[in-house]
């Protein structure tokens, strides 16, 4: 599709000429600030400016979130793979990606609660360099949103239209113009919050595409698109919660909306995975020892409780150097005494075990005492052919037990995700620590000296690439 008559002068007005701009979908997001309007209710990912442009001051130097420019092409590929490539006005276009559940349909993969109101998105219009000196005008141009799947419904914020095709005047989108400085150039753009609502009323077996076109007179031109993730197969993630203690003190868990709610409605749902709590139990070591009086329980009790320093609550404080041993020994005992079928960290097990403990795990660095909040298994396990894999279990220590983001972070590890700041050969990106809003980032930075991340308390998102990794985890049940 092309323009039947280009303006003789950039920004000039004529009856049929289309101004040069691109259209982009965005979820609620505040750069380096908490976003109250988005808590992870749906999956949404896009290539943010700060990933590739040097907008952060890191170690007294302006840098992008990516650790170096060699990752840019690989990261772009993450967003382009599997999509229909477009180059409006001859420029590179990177689409955004949406993942929502099907609703209002009787199907095991659909949901009657999650995404029932769809995803409310903002729309950005980016003026193309060379035609950006003059602001866009209400010149009769229409913006058309159109999908190739009947089950995808497009509406304004009211949600009333629910159509496969929505046409709006450009005046709807050009009320707020702003200038963004990006290294050696500036971008003029418009942002309209809560502009478009996307919902899904049926399964999409191959996903869907929402194409955006600009039309003026007889001229029509594709200026943007968004990819919708296939939602016809929603696997179940079976999860077991276990409270582990050596005494009668309470084992803490996240408060507020609750962990189960967060897993179902604010994290795993982003990857179109349905968590199911299949067991919630208590594993009190002292009670088990009094009942069974076995050498292994006694050895565990003495090693990690009796022979350790206690905190003011009477709970033991173990050294961070014992973390791996503690996890290994705990899992061994739980498998033996809690009626677990087979080995937890093996291909034969499809349940993820989350062990909450009131035990404190501490270490000293540069003369300061720090507390480990949680720990996941990453080791050669049964069925892995000596290859290191993420296990099906995590331990949440005392200092992380009430922090929702920490607990979800550790659980997501067990579904195949590494930290976004780890340089791994199979991962096409590596970020500076603490400079993304991703679940798999940290709340402190890798600066010298380290600082608290500006995203602390708001690291609640998953990348499209992570959706794919999680959905390939060995423990998921696609037949449930």
- What is the per-residue pLDDT for 3? 45
pLDDT, one tens digit per residue, over 314-343 is: 999 999 999 999 999 999 999 999 989 889
- H/E stretch holding 264 reads helix 259-265
3-state secondary structure 405-436: HHHHHHHHHCCCCCCCCCCCCCCCCCECCCCC
- What is the per-residue pLDDT for 120? 98
pLDDT, one tens digit per residue, over 452-472 is: 999 988 899 999 999 999 999
- What is the per-residue pLDDT for 276? 97
- What is the per-residue pLDDT for 5? 44
Two structure tokens written together for 255: 């408060």
Please tell me the distance from the alpha carbon of residue 362 to that of residue 357, in angstroms, as a whole number: 14
- What is the per-residue pLDDT for 6? 47
| Helix ranges restricted to H, 25-153 | 49-52, 72-80
Q: Which of 71, 99, 94 is nearest to 83 (CA)?
A: 94
- What is the per-residue pLDDT for 1? 47
Distances, alpha carbon 139 to alpha carbons 130, 134, 144, in Å: 19, 13, 15
Cis peptide before 449 (omega within 30 of 0): yes
Residues with pLDDT less than 50, the chain? 1-8
Q: Is 191 exposed, middle or buried (0-12, 13-18, 19+ CB in 10 A)?
A: middle
- What is the per-residue pLDDT for 425? 80
The position carrying tokens 């409780």 is 305
Q: Which of 334, 333, 330, 331 is nearest to 318 (CA)?
A: 330
Residue 98 contacts residue 42 (beta carbons within 8 Å): yes
* Cα angle, residue 374 at apex, residues 328 and 465 outer, rounded to 5°: 100
């Amino acid at each position: 599709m092309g323009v039947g008559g280009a303006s003789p002068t950039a920004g000039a007005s004529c009856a049929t000429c289309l101004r040069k701009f691109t259209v982009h979908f965005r979820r609620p997001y505040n750069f380096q600030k908490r976003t109250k309007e988005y808590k992870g209710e749906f999956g949404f990912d896009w290539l943010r400016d700060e990933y590739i442009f040097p907008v952060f001051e890191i170690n007294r130097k302006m840098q992008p979130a990516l650790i170096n420019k060699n990752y840019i092409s690989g990261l772009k590929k993450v967003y382009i793979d599997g999509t229909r490539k477009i180059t409006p006005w001859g420029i590179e276009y990177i689409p955004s990606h949406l993942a929502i559940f099907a609703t209002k349909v009787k199907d095991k993969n659909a949901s009657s609660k999650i995404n029932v109101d769809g995803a409310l998105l903002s729309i950005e219009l980016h003026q193309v360099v060379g035609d950006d000196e003059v602001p866009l005008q209400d010149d009769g141009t229409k913006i058309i949103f159109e999908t190739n799947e009947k089950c995808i419904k497009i509406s304004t914020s009211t949600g009333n239209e629910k159509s496969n095709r929505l046409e709006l005047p450009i005046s709807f989108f050009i009320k707020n113009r702003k200038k963004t400085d990006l290294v050696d150039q500036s971008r003029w753009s418009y942002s309209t919050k809560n502009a478009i609502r996307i919902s899904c009323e049926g399964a999409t077996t191959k996903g869907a595409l929402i194409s955006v076109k600009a039309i003026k007179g007889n001229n029509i031109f594709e200026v943007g698109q968004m990819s919708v993730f296939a939602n016809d197969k929603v696997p179940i993630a079976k999860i077991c919660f276990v409270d582990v203690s050596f005494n009668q003190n309470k084992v803490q868990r996240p408060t507020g909306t609750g962990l189960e709610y967060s897993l179902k409605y604010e994290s795993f749902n982003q990857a179109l995975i349905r968590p199911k709590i299949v067991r919630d139990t208590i594993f009190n070591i002292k009670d088990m020892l009094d009942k069974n009086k076995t050498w292994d329980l006694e050895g565990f009790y003495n090693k990690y409780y009796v022979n350790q320093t206690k905190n003011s609550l009477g709970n033991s404080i173990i050294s961070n150097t014992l973390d791996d041993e503690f996890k290994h020994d705990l899992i061994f005992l739980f498998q033996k005494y809690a009626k677990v079928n087979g080995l937890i960290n093996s291909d034969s097990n499809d349940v993820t075990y989350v062990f909450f403990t009131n035990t404190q795990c501490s270490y000293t660095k540069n003369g300061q005492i720090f507390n480990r909040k949680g720990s996941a298994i990453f080791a050669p396990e049964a069925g892995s052919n000596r290859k290191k894999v993420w296990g099906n279990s995590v331990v949440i220590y005392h200092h992380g037990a009430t922090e929702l983001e920490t607990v979800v972070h550790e659980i997501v590890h067990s579904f195949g995700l590494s930290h976004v700041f780890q340089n791994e050969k199979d991962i096409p990106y590596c970020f500076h620590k603490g400079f993304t809003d991703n679940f798999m980032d940290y709340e402190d930075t890798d600066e010298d000296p380290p600082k608290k991340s500006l995203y602390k308390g708001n690291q609640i998102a998953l990348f499209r690439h992570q959706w794919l990794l999680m959905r390939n985890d060995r423990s998921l049940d696609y037949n449930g």
